[in-house]
Amino acid sequence: MSLTRPLVILLLLALLGFLALQRCAGERPQQLSRSRILMGTVVEISVHGADPGRLEAAVTDAFAEMARIERLMRPAGEGSDVARLTASAQGTEVAPETAAVIALGLQVGAESGGAFDMGLGRLKELWGIETESPRVPAPAEIRQALAGTGQGDLRLDSRRVEKAQPALAVDLGAIAKGYAVDRAVELLRRAGIESATVNAGGNIRLIGDHDGRPWRIAIQHPRDAAGQLALLELADVSVSTSGDYERFFEQDGVRYHHIFDPRTGYPAGRCRSVTVVTPSAALADALSTAAFVLGPEEGLALLRRFPATEGLIVAADGTPHVTPGLEARLTWR
């Protein structure tokens, strides 16, 4: 059976159209999500793009970088700068990444009047909030754990970190996760990823937007484990939330949580939660802790000292306090 020329042309056009549709379908953005346990929390990376192989490779590299940062900054273990620094009598030289984190921590500590302190390792171990056997220490124990801490307990000269007291134990738990998120995002951007989220236990950084729309980030209600306090619509920024509901125990009707006031040695009591929005995840991580310690008024004043930084602070009585620049992007639930 022979085909007429017009019919052959129509069949060819149909075939070309089908192939074009198939090619376009293959180029549609796809989502790839992977999760791992790192730095004591669940880390999830979600990326969007047209090339599944490139997405997979980028996520693998990002997780590997976060694991490397964890090894450098964990409190103990082989290869840890923090472990070597704690064990040293006066100080030691650290990796450039660790030096960068300590430099930022010292800046936030200075700006917050000491509300952020990286020398609380002994105090955190004493309380054991994140262990199976937390306890309320005796006042004398707390005073001993605080000896040598406070502004000036760490000094940085290039890559060398000096300790004010030999027994000082360094803990970067309130800033290292954010820094690891920043490093992961840097690698994703180098791989050409233009839309992604990296979430390390509430330390979130957003790359670009979500299909032309802002990302919607839920803020947990600090007194309702299954509820949301508000929704934020954001793009290309970092978000960090610190709350007294994350890791805590109760004794005699009192809630003892993991965010300590460096001035007293007890869990800070002026807030229920603090959410900070700023370009850097490491900065958001540190500021959310410092503002939590300071409380609503001083906490908001601290946030105003950093460019492009906004926040939502829920006071101890449940009253929310919001910076003006965040109100338009916030929906109460």
Token pair for residue 109? 């500590």
Topology given in CATH for the domain delimited by 32-74+177-332: T-fold (3.10.520)
Contact call for residues 230 and 330 (beta carbons, < 8 A): yes
Determine the residue type at 53. G
Query: Which residue carries 């490093």 as its tokens?
Result: 183
Contact call for residues 70 and 64 (beta carbons, < 8 A): no
Which residue(s) pair with 219 in the sheet?
230
The C-alpha atoms of residue 170 and residue 163 are separated, in whole angstroms, by 9
The C-alpha atoms of residue 219 and residue 231 are separated, in whole angstroms, by 6
Strands 254-257 and 30-38: unpaired
List the chain pLDDT tens, one digit each, 333 residues: 444 444 434 334 444 444 444 444 445 669 999 999 999 999 999 999 999 999 999 999 999 999 999 999 999 999 999 999 999 998 999 999 999 999 999 999 999 999 999 999 999 999 999 999 999 999 999 999 999 999 999 999 999 999 999 999 999 999 999 999 999 999 999 999 999 999 999 999 999 999 899 999 999 999 999 999 999 999 999 999 999 999 999 999 999 999 999 999 999 999 999 999 999 999 999 999 999 999 999 999 999 999 999 999 999 999 999 999 999 999 999
The three-state secondary structure class of 143 is helix
Question: Is the torsion defined by CA of 42, 103, 150, 161 positive or negative?
Answer: positive
Query: Which residue carries 């509430």 as its tokens?
Result: 202
The C-alpha atoms of residue 150 and residue 34 are separated, in whole angstroms, by 39
Report the CATH superfamily, name and number, of domain 81-163: ApbE-like superfamily (1.10.3980.10)
Determine the residue type at 23. R
- Does the pTM exceed 0.85? yes
Of 169, 203, 178, nearest to 75 by C-alpha is 169
Please report, for the chain, the start and end positions of each structural domain, with discontinuous segments joined by +.
32-74+177-332, 81-163
